[in-house]
Chains A and B, each alone.
Chain A
Amino acid sequence: MSEGKIKKVSIVCSKGSLEGVYPALIMANGARMEGIEASIFFTFFGLYAILKEYQDKIKIATVGNPAMRVPDAKGMALPTWMGGIPGMSAFATKMMMKEMEALDIPPIGEFIEMIHDAGGKIYACKATVDMFHLSLDDFCPQMEKVLTVGEFYELSAGAEIIFT
């Protein structure tokens, strides 16, 4: 580990649910607000956060999410069968987005734009791009480059690597 103030962070975003994407974005934006260089490397399902068609359709996981409580954070644990009801995920997402809007946390598309305007770098994982048969057109304009893991490590020289 390096001494003193953090100068550079390299954040990996590998999950595609709302609660999987936001931590990476908040970390990147927060880094830029502190004057720390930041890049986000989106891989696997995290890639949906930077695909222009899907970035504003990202949902909360209501199944397989044992921490989910309804109707608020201190409520009853949501049973799996209830989480699987059609529309439940969309509903939970809507409620969560309302809370975030009240705290001035932007939707994913706007957030990526803000991070990019703040000087943060947005990258996509080549292996996932190949696996999902994607092309450069599918990406939002802020995506800078499709990288291999080796290139990611080169770019992250001197940075704290944060895996989310």
Chain B
Amino acid sequence: MKHPVHFVDPVKKITEQEDKMPTREIAGATVDVNEEGYFTNPDQWTEAMAAVLAQEEEIGELTDGHRKVINFLRQDYKEKGVMPSIRRVKNAGGIPTKELYDLFPGGPLKKSSKIAGLPKPASCV
């Protein structure tokens, strides 16, 4: 006799979660974020929001060095459609790894992409 198997459709579950996408108020606008606070729509980002996010990520005041990273990340994401790896930031972006870690200590790529209004980096490198 076959036991009826209770099958939970994983795709349906994820879609249901996406329908209830959280939002947040920042710098006078409402933006869509995922459950970790990363922007789901990078076009909603503004420079003013970066300043707020930088404070939240304990980076403090953004300098030109920070902005160079943020600009590269945004530009590269727009071109490639995927988040660059730290290696790409070093080679294509011209930002040495040591500098990146000094600018955004404690999880540089995660922090800089959050501040830049981009998705969470998915690379293992």
Residue of A nearest to B98 (CB): A117
User: Which of B87, B97, B101, B107 interacts with A104 by CB under 8 Å?
Assistant: B87
Among B86, B105, B106, the residue within 8 A (CB) of A114 is: B86
Determine how close the nearest CB of chain B comes to the CB of A35; give it in whole angstroms.
3
Are B125 and A118 closer than 8 Å at their CB atoms?
no
Question: Given the complex of chains A and B, what is the CA–CA distance between A81 and B42 in angstroms?
Answer: 54
Q: Is the CB of B125 within 8 A of A117?
A: no
If A35-B105, A105-B125, A106-B87 touch, does A114 touch B97 (CB 8 Å cutoff)? yes
Which residues does chain A contribute within 8 Å of B107, judged by CB atoms?
A: 33-35
Binary contact track B84-118/A, C-beta < 8 Å → 1, others 0: 01111010000011100100011111100000000
B29 within 8 A of partner (CB): no
**Once the chains are docked, how many angstroms separate the CA of A34 from the CA of B86?**
12
- Report the separation of the CA atoms of residues A104 and B83 in the bound assembly, to the nearest whole angstrom: 12
- For the complex, what is the distance from the CA of A43 to the CA of B96, rounded to whole Å? 29
Q: Does A103 contact B (CB under 8 A)?
A: yes
Closest Cβ–Cβ distance, residue B104 to chain A (whole Å): 10
Given known A-B contacts A117-B101, A119-B101, A29 and B106 have beta carbons under 8 A apart: no
The answer on a CB contact under 8 Å between A33 and B108 is yes
Q: Mark A31-66, 1 if CB is under 8 A from B, else 0.
A: 011110000000000000000000000000000000
Instruction: Give Cα distance in the complex from A60 to B31, angstroms.
Output: 48
Closest Cβ–Cβ distance, residue B103 to chain A (whole Å): 12
| B124 within 8 Å of A (CB atoms) | yes
- The digit string for A66-91, where 1 denotes a CB below 8 A from any CB of B, is 00000000000000000000000000
**Interfacial residues, chain B to chain A (CB-CB below 8 A):** 85-88, 90, 96-98, 101, 105-110, 123-125
Scan A106-125; emit 1 where CB is below 8 A from any B CB, else 0.
10001001100111000000
5 pairs across A/B with beta carbons < 8 Å? Answer: A29-B86, A29-B125, A34-B107, A35-B106, A105-B125
C-alpha spacing A29/B121, complex, angstroms: 14
Residues on A with C-beta less than 8 A from B86 are 29, 33, 114, 118
Known contacts A26-B124, A106-B125, A32 near B101 by CB under 8 Å: yes
Q: Measured between alpha carbons, how far is A35 from B96 in the docked complex, in Å?
A: 17
**CB of A144, distance to nearest CB on chain B (Å):** 15
Assess whether A158 is interfacial by the CB under 8 Å rule: no
Q: Which of B98, B108, B125 contacts A26 (CB 8 A)?
A: B125
Chain B neighbourhood of A30, CB < 8 A: 124
Interfacial chain A residues near B109, Cβ < 8 Å: 33
Return chain A residues, CB-CB under 8 Å to B88.
Answer: 104
Cα(A113)–Cα(B86), bound, Å:
12
Q: Inside 8 A of A33's CB, which chain B residues have their CB?
A: 86, 107-110
